[in-house]
């Protein structure tokens, strides 16, 4: 059964720093992996999607990588800003016919001005 783990659970860094959030998964037979952002009272927003055949995706200051063989993904945030403060969730979609999304518990990120 797929398990998704995000470490650390919380992270606080000064504004301007580059940072990396980690996501690991136990079953490498995935369809894709997505990173989401969760803001209190605003639901979840998709940030980046990496297909199983891809190694990375970029959007603005965000870069997500995928290493299926090691069961790891990272979300790199460059030049962090206070507006980046949120909880970041990783979700893995299974490669079987169910296509179920399995979620990590998230990393709560605080960017200090």
Q: Which is nearer to another protein, 15 or 95 (CB)?
A: 95
Distance separating alpha carbons of residues 8 and 23, to the nearest angstrom: 9
Residues, the chain: 113
| 3-class secondary-structure state, position 113 | coil
Number of residues in contact with another protein under rule CB under 8 A: 23
Which residues, numbered 60-79, are part of the site for another protein (CB under 8 A)?
A: none
The pair phi, psi for residue 13, each rounded to 5°, is -135, 155
Q: Which span (13-21, 40-48, 59-67, 72-80) binds another protein, by CB under 8 A?
A: 40-48
Those residues with Cβ within 8 angstroms of residue 4's Cβ, 6 or more apart along the chain or in another chain? 23, 24, 25, 26, 90, 91, 92, 102, 103, 104
- Residue choice 104, 107, 109, 111 for contact with another protein (CB under 8 A): 104
- Nearest approach in angstroms of CB 19 to another protein is 21
32 interacts with another protein by CB under 8 A: yes
* Chain positions contacting another protein, by CB under 8 A: 4, 9, 31-32, 34, 41-46, 49, 89, 91, 93, 99-106
């Amino acid at each position: 059964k797929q398990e998704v783990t995000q470490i650390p659970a919380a992270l606080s860094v000064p504004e301007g720093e580059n940072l990396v959030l980690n996501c690991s998964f136990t079953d490498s037979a995935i369809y894709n992996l997505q990173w989401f952002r969760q803001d209190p009272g605003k639901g979840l927003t998709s940030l980046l999607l990496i297909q199983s055949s891809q190694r990375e995706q970029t959007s603005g200051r965000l870069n997500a990588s995928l290493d299926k063989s090691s069961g790891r993904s990272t979300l790199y945030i460059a030049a962090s800003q206070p507006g980046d403060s949120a909880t970041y969730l990783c979700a893995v979609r299974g490669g079987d016919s169910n296509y179920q999304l399995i979620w990590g518990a998230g990393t709560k990120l605080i960017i200090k001005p």
